[in-house]
């Protein structure tokens, strides 16, 4: 079965870089414009929220508490979003790129410069031990569906000509993406809620999009969705553990991903093969089109035809995959798990 696919629609994602002089060591501030069209898209946010705090971990006074020194920002000035601690230095640190979720309520209640951690499946290294001491960190708010999409979806569902609700798959769940459909609650105090698997409501704070992940959205709206993200350019590696099977991911830097240069080689833990059934694969969505690529041991990322059928084969007449545009999410299907997988900053 061949999935028709010709090119990425260039209007889906556009990137504007704006230089400003606000916080985070006078960092470059970036605006990323997202446009989601009709059909199915895999969407990724290649920016991170601006950190609220930077510093260094100095000790571990208890099993889920870091004592820190603060170099900039306010470690307890949390927004309504969930927050995580990301290790951003020094170079060569064994946990560089790892992250740990924070317990905001317990951190606010703690004394001194303490950060209280939260046990979570989103933690990329759940063992709290002496390896963390000396790590340079940033405290960063998560992106959530609630903050990025909820108001646009609410307007489409409640407008003069109501539009059908999109279906969204988040990159975590019981061994598979979590299916969510936004719905409006009953009047008179109607509000948008996130319904999981048609049976339970997920709080807005739980609609987290972890760094390096993407989400699938299937929309019947012809004019789609559009919004702007303002944030910070990530400069450190980003740990994104991969399971055996499908993983919803995205390159967490605001540049096009060059396969074989920035990522997508054996050095990144990807498994090649001469057989299209035995290699790691990439699934790309665009509207009603889907293209599947496999990691050929000699020729890089080649299109695959008929995956799942007896006639599966390489499509050697079509161009190989070399670049995935910034902000374009994708599915990487792994032959075996890679819990230590990390995306690295773009190569110069």
Mean pLDDT of 64-68: 96
Q: In terms of domains, do 157 and 176 share one?
A: yes
Last residue of a domain, one of 141, 168, 183: 141
Evaluate if residue 254 carries a pLDDT over 80: yes
In a domain, 231, yes or no: no
Evaluate if residue 17 carries a pLDDT over 60: no
Evaluate if residue 78 carries a pLDDT over 80: yes
At 228, is the pLDDT very low, low, confident or very high (cuts 50, 70, 90)? confident
Q: In terms of domains, do 164 and 101 share one?
A: no
Last residue of a domain, one of 108, 141, 174: 141
Q: In terms of domains, do 336 and 255 share one?
A: yes
pLDDT tens-digit map of 259-284 = 999 999 999 999 999 999 999 999 99
Q: In terms of domains, do 137 and 161 share one?
A: no
Last residue of a domain, one of 225, 258, 290: 225
Distance linking the first and last C-alpha atoms of the chain: 39
In a domain, 1, yes or no: no
* Lowest pLDDT segment from 46-60, 61-75, 172-186: 172-186
Q: In terms of domains, do 94 and 161 share one?
A: no
pLDDT tens-digit map of 183-202 = 998 888 889 999 998 888 99
In a domain, 58, yes or no: yes
* Report for 22-26, 158-162, 318-322: range of highest mean pLDDT: 318-322
Domain count, the chain: 3
Q: What is the pLDDT of residue 3?
A: 40
Q: In terms of domains, do 94 and 112 share one?
A: yes
State how far the Cα of 177 lies from the Cα of 214, in Å rounded to an integer.
10
Kindly report the number of other CB atoms within 10 A of residue 188's CB atom.
Answer: 4
At 181, is the pLDDT very low, low, confident or very high (cuts 50, 70, 90)? very high
Evaluate if residue 13 carries a pLDDT over 70: no
Q: What is the pLDDT of residue 282?
A: 98
Q: In terms of domains, do 103 and 179 share one?
A: no
Task: Give the domain extent around 110.
Answer: 53-141
At 329, is the pLDDT very low, low, confident or very high (cuts 50, 70, 90)? very high
Mean pLDDT of 215-233: 86
Q: In terms of domains, do 218 and 253 share one?
A: no
At 2, is the pLDDT very low, low, confident or very high (cuts 50, 70, 90)? very low
Mean pLDDT of 324-328: 95
In a domain, 265, yes or no: yes
Mean pLDDT of 137-160: 92
pTM attached to this predicted model: 0.90
Q: In terms of domains, do 257 and 307 share one?
A: yes
Q: In terms of domains, do 251 and 298 share one?
A: yes
* Lowest pLDDT segment from 88-92, 157-161, 336-340: 157-161
């Amino acid at each position: 079965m061949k999935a028709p696919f010709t090119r990425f629609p260039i209007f889906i994602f556009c990137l504007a870089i704006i230089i400003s002089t606000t916080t985070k060591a006078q960092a470059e501030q970036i605006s990323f414009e997202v446009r989601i069209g009709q059909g199915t898209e895999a969407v990724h946010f290649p920016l991170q929220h601006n950190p609220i705090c930077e510093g260094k971990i100095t000790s571990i006074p208890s099993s889920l508490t870091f004592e820190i020194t603060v170099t900039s920002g306010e470690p307890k000035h949390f927004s309504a979003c969930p927050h995580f601690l990301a290790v951003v230095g020094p170079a060569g640190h064994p946990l560089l790129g790892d992250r740990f979720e924070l317990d905001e309520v317990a951190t606010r209640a703690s004394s001194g410069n303490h950060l209280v951690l939260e046990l979570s499946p989103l933690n990329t290294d759940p063992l709290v031990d002496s390896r963390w001491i000396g790590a340079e960190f940033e405290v960063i708010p998560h992106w959530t569906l609630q903050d990025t999409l909820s108001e646009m979806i609410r307007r489409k569902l409640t407008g003069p000509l109501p539009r059908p609700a999109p279906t969204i798959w988040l990159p975590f769940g019981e061994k598979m993406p979590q299916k969510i459909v936004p719905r409006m609650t009953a009047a008179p105090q109607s509000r948008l809620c996130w319904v999981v698997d048609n049976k339970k409501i997920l709080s807005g704070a739980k609609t987290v999009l972890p760094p390096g992940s993407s989400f699938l959205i299937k929309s019947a709206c012809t004019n789609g969705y559009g919004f702007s993200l303002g944030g910070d350019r990530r400069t450190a590696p980003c740990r994104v553990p991969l399971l055996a099977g499908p993983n919803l991911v995205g390159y967490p830097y605001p540049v096009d991903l060059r396969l074989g240069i920035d990522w997508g080689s054996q050095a990144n833990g990807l498994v090649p093969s001469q057989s299209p059934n035995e290699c790691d694969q990439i699934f790309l969505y665009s509207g009603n089109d889907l293209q599947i690529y496999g990691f050929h041991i000699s020729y890089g990322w080649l299109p695959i035809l008929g995956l799942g059928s007896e006639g599966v084969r390489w499509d050697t007449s079509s161009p190989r995959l070399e670049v995935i545009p910034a902000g374009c999410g994708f599915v990487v299907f792994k032959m075996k798990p890679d819990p230590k997988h990390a995306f690295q900053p773009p190569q110069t």
